[in-house]
Each structure stands twice: as structure tokens, then as C-alpha cells.
Amino acid sequence: MPTLAIRLARLTGRLLLTLAAVATLVVAFLVAIVLTDGAGSGLAAWLTALGIGTAAALWRGRRRTRAARLAPFLPVVVAAALTASVCVPTVPTARQRPPALPFVATQHWSLATGSRVAVYHYPPATTGARHPVPLVYLNGGPVRGISVLDHRFLQRLARQGYDVYAYEQAGGGRSDLLPMGQYTISRSVRDLGAFIDRLGRGKVDMLGFSSGGVVLTRALADPRVAARLHRAIIAEPGPMDGPTARIAGHKGRPSARGLAPAMTGPRSTHVPRYAVAFGLMRLGLLTPDTGLVGQAEGDNAFTAADLGSDTASAYCARDAHRIPTEDTARNFSFSPAASLRVQRTTKESPSIAPQLKRSQVPAMLMIAECSSQVRQWATAVLAGDPAVRRTQYMPGVGHHMWNGLDDNDDRAAAVITAFLQDRPAPLPDYPTRDDIPAFLHARR
């Protein structure tokens, strides 16, 4: 009996040593991935870890019998098999655009900046009043396709007489990719100006949502682009510049994050290759243009389920169990690497407050009650832009204010159209600039 116990103890010890050796080689592989920035689809890191493991196994087996010399290679083989999965693509590495939408034609416009973007046009209804100034929608993302839910809202505005245009920013949706180094917030602003010029209809009204609101805010601070704008609606903006991005403030009323059922469907983050790539990029340990996963492959791999609780955070807590399907699997498109790079260039940019103070374009700010955005991101725009004429605090909705639930689309459309037509606001003008301290103190 004591002999059996000794044998079990020895077997357990050897097993633990083997697992420790495997874990050590996996860690060595991950460190090499970071140090080589994923060069050669991770092959450089894999060969490095394999070389380290082989050298260690040879050293450990140098004084053993011929048969016993093979034992130290077991952890090397296991670790090599595990880490090899990070080096093998499981989706096409060439760009796969979403198929055409059945309800609107996709145009492709080449802009003066060099970007080639997907454009959608919803002409105004043939009956009723028609508004002469085109309305351009800039979606969030920042490098993401326009969701079906947003397309439906744009159709609603068109039925109310607006000539609606929307385009997916370079790299998003059906738009062409850019070299990774060209994804910057300043490029996004230049593309906006070039799009308006390509439209050729004079000044336009703009509706910018989320990161699209960031692009619009920065456009208001750029006299060359602001000169092309008639009116601007900034809905639920992210941080407009580096100083704003570094503000650690509170958010709106509780969202459905952590309350809604987990999103169903395949996840790229369940595949070792993409879990490692996207995880290390998010931690800042891999650059967006890493050699591990190319931009096109990353776009092809990323799914709506990978957004996880980010989608739930765009809805109020009370809507946690009835969150609508925002998009179809065939239309969904998100570029994690390009989006991360645009966000980083925003965080690294200097303050635009001095330029924004000179803005003269009439603007409106829309803030959701259950916003997942830091409140100071919106109030910084209100405080910094003297041309913000009204603020509409939208009760009962989260970050995605037009979402098909209840009468939310009607209320959002009423707020937007009232401002564009210079009619009285359907909601109180709140918060005003003078209200900002109390608004933030009340944690609304």
C-alpha cells in the first residue's frame, strides 16, 4: 500500500511537471507573439517557442538512457500542437464584403482623399413636404457597417420628406479597406468633407451617432469642413479629443449590461487564433496592424456575438429581456483593428476646444437617459461649442436611441425633424450650459 501511494505521488508529480512545462512554453509563445508583433501569422513566435522547448528537452535528456531521452519532448509536442492553432486561419484571409441589401442599392464613391466608400440613398417621399437640404447620416463604430436597424430609421426620415444619404466609413461594411496606418480620426473628418463635395448638393444637414458624432464634432472644429455644413445633430457622442477621453466620469442611468441574456451565435473569440489576436490588441500588446491576423481576416472573423455585453449596454435596464436584433448575420460588419486604431488616434489627439469655440454651425445635442457613454463626453461638446442651440435629453432610451421599441423611433425622429425645421423642440432644452454642473452632480 505505501508503495502504491508513492507511485501515485510520483505520477502526480510528473504530470504536474509536464503541465507546468507545457504552460511555460505556451507563455513563452505568447511573449514571443508580443515581441514579434505576430510576424508571419505567428509562425516566428511558434518557431521560437519550439526552439526553446527543444533545447530544454535536449538538456534535460542529456544523461538519460536513449528511451528516457524522449520523455522531455512530450511537453514540447503538446505545447506545439496547442499553439499551432493560433497560427492557422479558420476564415478567408481575403476581404469578404456583406452581400447587397435587398431594400436599397449600394453605390461606391471614390473620394478625393483616396477612400472608396459604400453609399446608400433614400430619396424623399413623393407626397407631402420635401426638404431641400440633404441629410447625411454618419454611423458609429467607428469602423462598422450600418445596421439594418439604422437603415430602417433612415427610411423613416425619408418618408417624412428628407433626402437621406449615408455612407460607411472607409474599412467598414461594404467600403474598401485602407492601409492600417491611414485609419485616423483626422482622416475620418477629411473623408466627411470629401463626401459632401462628391455629393455636390451644397451644404448638408448632418446626423452623427456615437463615434459618428465624434467625427461630426471634430468637423465643426475644422473651418474647411464646417463651411459645408448647414445644421449638425450630435447624438450620444464619444470623446472628441485626447483630454476628453481621459476624463473619468459617470455614465447615465443603468443599462442592460450584465442583465440581458448572452448573445447567441458563433464567436471568433472562441477560436484560439482570434481570441489571442483580439485580446492582445485590446490590451495594447499587439498593434492594430499586427502580423498575426491581417485586417481583412479579422473583419471576416469578427461576429455580432463577439460584441457581447456592448450591445446590451446600448439599452435601458428595463429593456434587458427584449433587446431587438440590431442586424442580420449577413449584413453585420465590424473591423476591430481599424476601430481600435481610430480610437487611439482620438485619445492621442490634442484638445480641439479652442477651434470648437469658433464654430458657427447651428447644432443640437442628443443625450440618452440610459447612456453607456461617459456624461462628460457629451457635456464637453455642450460647453465647448457656442453654436449648440438645444439639448434633448431622451427619457426611456439607451445609447441606441432609435431601436424599434415602443415609440422610441417616433420620438427620436420628432426631435431631429423639429431641429432641422427650426421648430420648437418637443422636449425641454436640457441640460443647458448653465445646467451642466447640476446635471453631472445629479448623475443623470
Instruction: Kindly report, residue by residue over 122-166, the tens digit of the pLDDT.
Output: 999 878 788 999 999 999 999 999 999 999 999 999 999 999 999
C-alpha grid cell for residue 228?
459645408
Arithmetic mean of pLDDT over the chain = 92
What is Dmax (Cα atoms) for the chain? 94
Instruction: Give the pLDDT of residue 69.
Output: 64
Assess whether pLDDT exceeds 90 at residue 443. no
Instruction: Give the pLDDT of residue 63.
Output: 61
The kind and range of the H/E element at 27 are helix 2-36
- Count CB-CB contacts under 10 A for residue 131: 17
Instruction: Give the pLDDT of residue 429.
Output: 97
Assess whether pLDDT exceeds 70 at residue 1. no
Instruction: Give the pLDDT of residue 78.
Output: 87
Residues 6+ apart with CB under 8 A from 154: 120, 122, 137, 164, 166
3-state secondary structure of 208: strand
Count Cβ atoms within 10 A of the Cβ of residue 438 and give its class: 0-12 exposed, 13-18 middle, 19 or more buried: exposed
Instruction: Kindly report, residue by residue over 40-86, the tens digit of the pLDDT.
Output: 999 999 999 889 888 887 877 666 666 556 667 788 888 889 999 99
Instruction: Kindly report, residue by residue over 84-101, the tens digit of the pLDDT.
Output: 999 999 999 999 999 999
Q: In degrees, to the nearest 5, what angle opens at C-alpha 320 toward C-alphas 314 and 325? A: 65
Looking at 2-16, 249-263, 302-316, 344-358, which range is the least confident one? 2-16
C-alpha grid cell for residue 329?
448575420
Assess whether pLDDT exceeds 80 at residue 16. no
d(CA 140, CA 138): 7
36-58: b or e for each residue (b if 16 or more CB lie within 10 Å)?
Answer: bbbeebbbbbbbbbbebbeebbe
The kind and range of the H/E element at 120 are strand 116-122
DSSP class per residue in 277-346:
HHHHHHTTSS-TT-SSS-HHHHHHH--GGGGTHHHHTTSBGGGGGG----S-TTT--B-HHHHHHHHHHH
| CATH T-level assignment (fold) for domain 107-441 | Rossmann fold (3.40.50)
Instruction: Kindly report, residue by residue over 364-404, the tens digit of the pLDDT.
Output: 999 999 999 999 999 999 999 999 999 999 999 999 999 99
22 band by pLDDT with thresholds 50, 70 and 90: confident
Mean pLDDT of 266-288: 93
15 band by pLDDT with thresholds 50, 70 and 90: confident
State the Rg of the chain over Cα.
Answer: 26
Instruction: Give the pLDDT of residue 39.
Output: 94
d(CA 413, CA 390): 15
Instruction: Give the pLDDT of residue 444.
Output: 84
Instruction: Kindly report, residue by residue over 160-215, the tens digit of the pLDDT.
Output: 999 999 999 999 999 999 999 999 999 999 999 999 999 999 999 999 999 999 99
pTM for the model stands at 0.92
